[in-house]
Structure 1
Amino acid sequence: MSRKVSLSSALAPLGAVAVLAAPAAALAQAQPGAEGASQDDLGEIVVTANRSTDGLVAPSHPITRLDRETVEAGRAVSDTLSGVLAKAVPGLADSSRTITDYGQSLRGRGALLLVDGVPYNTNRDSARNLISVDPANIQRVEVLRGGSALYGSGATGGIISINTRPAGGPFRAETMVTGITSLSHPSSDGLSGRVQQFVSGAAGGFDFAANAGWQHIGAGFDAKGDRRAPEPSQGDLFDSTVWSLGGKLGRRVGDDGYLQGSLSWYQAHQDTDYAADPAPGRLPAGAAIARPLKGLQLADQNQIESKVATLAYRDRDVFGSDVSVLAYYRDLFTRFTPFDARGVATRGRNVDQVFQNTTVAGGRLTIKTPLGQRTALTWGGDVNHEVSDMPLDVFDPAAYDASGGLVFNRLRTLIYMPELTTRTEGAFAQVQHRLTDRIGVEAGVRYDRAKASFDSFTPLSQSQSAAPFVVQGGAIDFDAWTFNAGTTWEPVDGHELYASFSQGFQLPDIGLQLRNAGAGFSIDNSDLQPVKIDSYEAGWRGRFDQVSASFAAFRTTSDFGDVQSFNNGLILLRTAERINGVEATVDYGAAQDVWRFGGTATYLSGHEKGAAAVRSQDMTGYRIPPLKLTAYVTYAPNAVWDVRLQGLHSAGHDYRLNGVASFGRREVKDYTVVDLIGRYRLSARDQLTVGVENLLNSQYLPVYSQLLRGNTNTSRVPANGATLSVSLKRVW
């Protein structure tokens, strides 16, 4: 029962990528003390957002790079990586201020997250990707903005590529201790803290690195001093403990080779006494904010556990080519917040709690072959094998009701989504050619094929049926060719114009279709074409003495839409989509200047049209964020201390259709958040960093909260009020 779907038209985006290297301007705005990209020496295997980074041709897409110092400073005012990136990366929506990435689109579409080349996205997306990365172990972040199929499925909006801290070099030990407290409600409940240790060096012919981290996350308090409620739709990590461990071991092989293995483990586990008070949810939407309710009795709360192993080899001279090979394995477990789903037929009408198990194994091959002085070929392939399932625990509804939603006594465990196996294979080639000293071109092609399979199962929608329907197991196949092309032109020194066409794609959320299956469901009749996007972009980047700036205008189109939610259930909605947008950055000053300042602007508009619709309509706020502006000013009078003031403004927008609210379609109010970061070098080995998030103690709800992810006021969770962070770092 296998079906072949031709994807030249439907999946055609895997094609390769013409992508980029980043305008310096797009980077400078990130944080004080930004260094450029770190040196790519033989002792460090680096995975970049652009797979063909030869420097032969200037990039035809924008990319934002953040180094370790930038991320470290950003954590002083944003405890999550999603928050750090939202304040630094044009095109990226503001963060939810919770555990989830849901709604944090990149140019209105999804982003592929790679950590040392390992994909963190899964086919049944749990939207907990960025939270699974320990920011303390990040060496650099590259955000490629624009659809790409360079690494396969998932990058319809771009790629977020993270490299962790490298092994080797002179011995280095680093300890950082951080304390965090609410300034709007100083109390023991609001205390948080973290301790991180890192060591690296070389001994006995081996390079090594190891990191360990512990973190306690306390309660959050809004600007009025009220405790923030738990977020019942996607979850949070109030009153949680986080552990992370990692290590790398590398060794040179001959004159040109380097072999490296790595292991990492990350676990976040919540243990709170608070649940979301259901009372605000009974009021009209927007009439109240979420409130916490003490007395929660739940054995297993929000949890994330990620275990990753990699083995990488690079040889810079294999018959004249630079060859890199990566093999990886990832084991992911995530548990969500309980939910009263007695009104949701596809979940079996229970009070339940979903959790997801996923294992991923795969490999990548990248070969860079020079073809003379002006031409280079990058080619290779990938394979990825994923197995996922989603059980759910069912709780006693009588105990739940009698306690007002506080007591969860587990009765049994059922299968919500059956075990689903997804295998993808791809091959690509990318050519770069320098026509003249000022003009470069590049073009690429990629072929992908994918197969998903599952065994027969009885969906939860049939759990209360006298004669339940059994969905027959089966398989579905996809294949696709995708393409890209781009060119750059430097008309005068210091200024570049670029234009590009690229394709990206997203495999359909097959697990979503399976868990929503009803009577009569057949994989052969399901609407499972992948999301293919065509992306068109033109831009400029340049420098005028002390000022660097960039501008990009883009359009993306697709014949099929992404996952949306209706009536407390996720639905794979097949609508044609069109997104237009512009991004701009400006920065003044060099790293050694006393004063530096700059900012970014991002504006998007999006329209969707159903197959039977007469005209298009605006897309939801979870896909198309409001206008986002960022600004910063840095004062560094000497090498001993510096201070940075930064702000983020999210504009208001009415997402309702004809004044009617629905999921992701509500009126969103504007807000502005100002942060302060100060650093003082106590000695050559010691540094003190002080940060105040939300310096003006503004009471506001992030876009995510205003859109009501849970469709009631229980999702209207305000952001933190003024919050103080103090860190002491010691290099031994």
Structure 2
Amino acid sequence: MKRIAMGSKGSLARVLLCTVAPFALFQTASIATAQDAIEDDADLTVVVTASRTEESISSIPGTVQVIGQDELKGAVDASGDITSALERLVPGFSLDNETLSGGGQNFRGRSVQILVNGAPRTTALRKLSRALSLIDPNSIERIEVINGASAVYGDGATGGVINIITKTAEKEGWSGEVSTTVSASERDVKDSLNVLTSVSAAFRQENTHVQVNGQFKNTGDMFDGSGTQISEDPITGQGGGSGIEQYNLSGQVGYEGDAFDVTLYANLVKMEQDIKYQTDYTSDPVSIDPSNPYLGLPPLEDSKNINATFNFYEVGGLFDAKVELYYNDAEKRAAYVPLSAANPVAYLPDVNESQTVLFAKQAGVRTTFDADLSTVYEGLAFTWGSDYSYNDITQTVPDGRDIISPMKQHGFAQFAQVKAPIGEMFEVRGGVRHERFFLSMDSFVRPNALVPNPFYRDGNGQARILTLGEHTFTGAKKDYSATVFNLGAVAHLTDKVDVFAGFSQGFSVPDVGSFTRRAMPVPVDPENPVPSDLTNARMIDVSDVAPEAVIVNNYELGARFNTNGISFAASAFYSTSDKGVNFDDATQTVTQAEERIWGAELNIRGQLSEAWGAGAVLAYKEGVWDENKDGDVDEDLPNNRIGSPFKATVFSDYNFGNGLSVQGEAVFGSGRNGKEGAKGDLKKLKPTFTMNASAGYNSDYGDFHFGVSNIFDTKQQNTTATALRDREVLAEGRRVFLQYTKTF
């Protein structure tokens, strides 16, 4: 079996450049160099490991994207958060919410699975998404993206997979890089100052390589386009983008041989956010309340991640094998929000104990076997394997009392995939994966709490706050299982044009912890709910609220076109699920119902001349669900699922050939026009338009990069943050940045 050569790092870099050039934004590398690479290596193909085997993009019946170092660096210079790059580079990904959390951000309106070197960073069973903001951009070699529902890495990818591949030492001997970025708003340079410093060192000697990366991040205050300071916790307990002090240390060591290779990767992240004042969630937009000092503990992240990958080639002359092991241990503390309409759940006797801490441990083993069966049928390949995963989740108040059922889950899966050419033009593939999860929810005593009564509302439609006595929940066990399929084909119409069609299914165990935390008492007579206490209510138990698993069906049609002058990727998709999950912030309830989402995406890049490039990233999505469960799927999905149905990024760059290059882009979000749901009109989301520009200069003394985000200092809504809680949050205004990078 032929092994795709990975040892030649220069060749791989050039191969990646060939494919990602069409998707580059704010590209700091020479456009002429990129063009030369395309011409010189036109016969090479990119491999993507997000599909668990080495694949040519041209053979995959779905939307796949690879983002390289240069375009990634250019898109995150001001913020130091790769989310700001993904919102512009990846059509199906949500606009940035500008906080340390991934709250409200999704992929094609559904959940996204975040991986680092193939190991999960999104927590199962209880979602508190901070994965992307905790990753050092300068430690990344490339980002591989698979759009649409996928079960290739198991539970969670109902909208797509983002697999972040970290750097490996390229040069023989020692090499390194130091990069510092400072940025500020002219509203208050001192208090808004952000400092991001990254250091890397690498060593390679023949087949052995070592890579170490370190990052320090310190962010100042954020100001909107009118000069008003943005809340430090704008989306209710998720934390914000200001006052962050973060340390990130990662390292990778590996050996590459002819018969096998091994790589060990470890990452340590510590983060705290210094919040000075509480947020006033009753104002429109939400705002800082200087009269109300923050009384809680700081939001915190303390995570440790380690994974190892073993590749064995030509085992017995029959197949290649890969074994992956991973372990994650994270402590995630949310921000404190006082008892209010924004946080109607508070725990007694001290309502300040409403702040919560999530403890998440994950471990797993993945095996993949890949056999070339060309001796049976030319081009036939068979891939199979199995996975095991373990999750241990608890969530408490700061004094250690449980507020959800402590959960442990064992997951097992087996999969098989076949691909084969049909004649000279077609390639087909199909596969099956069987998932089975064994969930154990322990007994626990939920503390006395103040909660909203979902069966009684005042004249303004607000749920009346009631006292919920201490309650002991009996433990329960629940099994989840599903068999999911994929089937697709690619037609190579010419050497430059591919057309594809595919069907794929994704599987997800929903946020079980959220359901158990919000297990509510039920009045004996729902027609006459008790408005002041719950004395006569019947308590429901853990086993009554455990949600059903979600299976998503994704249908997709698309085309890819690549020449030396222009490249584009276009697709249209339609996805359905019978048990979609939605959270209602007003009632603090989580529900499941049938839903449908559809959309289209376009990613295009053209070389107008040897030095001048331009392009656009366009995306549309919309969705409906059976909110009132009357059998008709006709209510619009909530804003926290769809946000701006249409978004667009238009960009251009020019290289003067003397080390100087300039770049500019316009980012547009359509907003959403307050469409009707079963419970009334949704909040109107306003359109947004942001202009950004930067310039780079490469010299013998180092590389300099200067830029301005939101050039016109536009005062506008942050659509994603607003959509999450249906409370208006404003986006950051103008910010100026300067970056210096020296490579050794």
Q: TM-score range by the shorter chain?
A: 0.7 to 0.9
Q: Sequence identity, in percent?
A: 23
SS at match of 1:560: strand
Instruction: Report the CA distance between 1:473 and its aligned residue.
Output: 1.0
The one-letter amino acid paired with 1:258 is D
Q: Which residue of 2 aligns with 1:4?
A: none
Q: Deviations over 1:387-432 (max 9, x none)?
A: 1111113xxxxxxxxxxxxxxxxxx553212321122111111111
Q: Which residue of 2 aligns with 1:550?
A: 569
Instruction: Report the CA distance between 1:65 and its aligned residue.
Output: 1.4
The alignment's TM-score, normalised by the length of structure 1, stands at 0.86
SS at match of 1:573: strand
1:424 and 1:718, CA in 2 relative to 1: closer, same or farther beyond 3 A?
A: same
- From 606, 620, 630, the equivalent of 1:613 is 630
Instruction: Report the CA distance between 1:466 and its aligned residue.
Output: 9.5
SS at match of 2:85: helix
Aligned pairs for 1:404-443 within 5 A? 412-443=399-430
The alignment's TM-score, normalised by the length of structure 2, stands at 0.85
The answer to whether the Cα contact below 8 Å between 1:57 and 1:442 also exists between their aligned partners in 2 is no
Q: Which residue of 2 aligns with 1:688?
A: 704
Q: Which residue of 1 aligns with 2:594?
A: 576
Question: 2:182 and 2:666 mapped to 1: Cα distance?
Answer: 23
Instruction: Report the CA distance between 1:186 and its aligned residue.
Output: 3.7
Q: Which residue of 2 aligns with 1:290?
A: 287
The answer to whether the Cα contact below 8 Å between 2:364 and 2:387 also exists between their aligned partners in 1 is yes
Question: 2:61 and 2:192 mapped to 1: Cα distance?
Answer: 46
The answer to whether the Cα contact below 8 Å between 2:643 and 2:720 also exists between their aligned partners in 1 is no
- From 658, 664, 672, the equivalent of 1:645 is 664
Which has the bigger relative contact order, CA under 8 A and spacing at least 6?
Answer: 1
The answer to whether the Cα contact below 8 Å between 1:599 and 1:631 also exists between their aligned partners in 2 is yes
- From 485, 504, 511, the equivalent of 1:502 is 504
The answer to whether the Cα contact below 8 Å between 1:58 and 1:440 also exists between their aligned partners in 2 is yes
The one-letter amino acid paired with 1:573 is T
The answer to whether the Cα contact below 8 Å between 1:76 and 1:677 also exists between their aligned partners in 2 is no
Q: Deviations over 1:4-57 (max 9, x none)?
A: xxxxxxxxxxxxxxxxx99947943444249799xxxxxxxx972222333397
The answer to whether the Cα contact below 8 Å between 1:346 and 1:460 also exists between their aligned partners in 2 is no
The one-letter amino acid paired with 1:374 is G
- From 308, 315, 320, the equivalent of 1:318 is 315
Q: Which residue of 1 aligns with 2:43?
A: none
1:30 and 1:447, CA in 2 relative to 1: closer, same or farther beyond 3 A?
A: farther
The answer to whether the Cα contact below 8 Å between 2:636 and 2:677 also exists between their aligned partners in 1 is no
Aligned pairs for 1:608-687 within 5 A? 608-610=625-627, 612-613=629-630, 615=632, 616-626=634-644, 627-638=646-657, 640-657=659-676, 665-683=682-700, 686-687=702-703
Instruction: Report the CA distance between 1:213 and its aligned residue.
Output: 1.2
Q: Deviations over 1:342-372 (max 9, x none)?
A: 6777654634211111111111111111011
Q: Which residue of 1 aligns with 2:716?
A: 700
Alignment length (residue pairs): 669
Unaligned runs of at least 5 residues, structure 2: 1-15, 39-46, 451-465, 522-538
Q: Which residue of 2 aligns with 1:87?
A: 88
Q: Deviations over 1:302-324 (max 9, x none)?
A: 11222111122111221232211
Question: 2:431 and 2:393 mapped to 1: Cα distance?
Answer: 32
Instruction: Report the CA distance between 1:225 and its aligned residue.
Output: 2.1
Q: Which residue of 2 aligns with 1:243?
A: 247
Q: Which residue of 2 aligns with 1:41?
A: none
Q: Which residue of 2 aligns with 1:130?
A: 132
Q: Which residue of 2 aligns with 1:8?
A: none
The answer to whether the Cα contact below 8 Å between 2:627 and 2:677 also exists between their aligned partners in 1 is no
Q: Deviations over 1:254-290 (max 9, x none)?
A: x3211222211112112242332x3xx445xx4x452
The answer to whether the Cα contact below 8 Å between 2:104 and 2:721 also exists between their aligned partners in 1 is no
Q: Deviations over 1:467-515 (max 9, x none)?
A: 7542111211111111000001122331111100110011122211221
Question: 1:532 and 1:243 mapped to 2: Cα distance?
Answer: 37
Q: Which residue of 2 aligns with 1:54?
A: 55
Q: Which residue of 1 aligns with 2:265?
A: 262
1:214 and 1:612, CA in 2 relative to 1: closer, same or farther beyond 3 A?
A: closer
Unaligned runs of at least 5 residues, structure 1: 1-20, 38-45, 394-411
Q: Which residue of 2 aligns with 1:42?
A: none
The answer to whether the Cα contact below 8 Å between 1:57 and 1:440 also exists between their aligned partners in 2 is no
Question: 1:467 and 1:86 mapped to 2: Cα distance?
Answer: 44
SS at match of 1:260: strand
Aligned pairs for 1:25-424 within 5 A? 27-32=22-27, 33=29, 48-55=49-56, 58-122=59-123, 123-167=125-169, 169-170=171-172, 171-183=174-186, 185-203=187-205, 206-232=208-234, 233=236, 234-252=238-256, 255-276=258-279, 278=280, 281-283=281-283, 286=284, 288-293=285-290, 296-298=293-295, 300-319=297-316, 320-341=318-339, 347-348=346-347, 350-351=351-352, 352-372=354-374, 373-393=378-398, 412-424=399-411
The one-letter amino acid paired with 2:688 is Y
Q: Does 1:725 align with 2:743?
A: no
Question: 1:696 and 1:454 mapped to 2: Cα distance?
Answer: 52
Q: Cα RMSD over matched residues?
A: 2.7
Comparing 687-696 with 518-527, greater Cα deviation is found at: 518-527
The answer to whether the Cα contact below 8 Å between 2:560 and 2:569 also exists between their aligned partners in 1 is yes
Instruction: Report the CA distance between 1:326 and its aligned residue.
Output: 1.1
The answer to whether the Cα contact below 8 Å between 1:223 and 1:699 also exists between their aligned partners in 2 is yes
SS at match of 2:419: strand
The answer to whether the Cα contact below 8 Å between 2:26 and 2:664 also exists between their aligned partners in 1 is no
Question: 1:546 and 1:57 mapped to 2: Cα distance?
Answer: 18
Question: 1:528 and 1:274 mapped to 2: Cα distance?
Answer: 37
Question: 2:493 and 2:145 mapped to 1: Cα distance?
Answer: 26
Question: 1:250 and 1:260 mapped to 2: Cα distance?
Answer: 4
Q: Deviations over 1:636-674 (max 9, x none)?
A: 121512111011100132234279767xx2101111111
The answer to whether the Cα contact below 8 Å between 1:23 and 1:541 also exists between their aligned partners in 2 is no
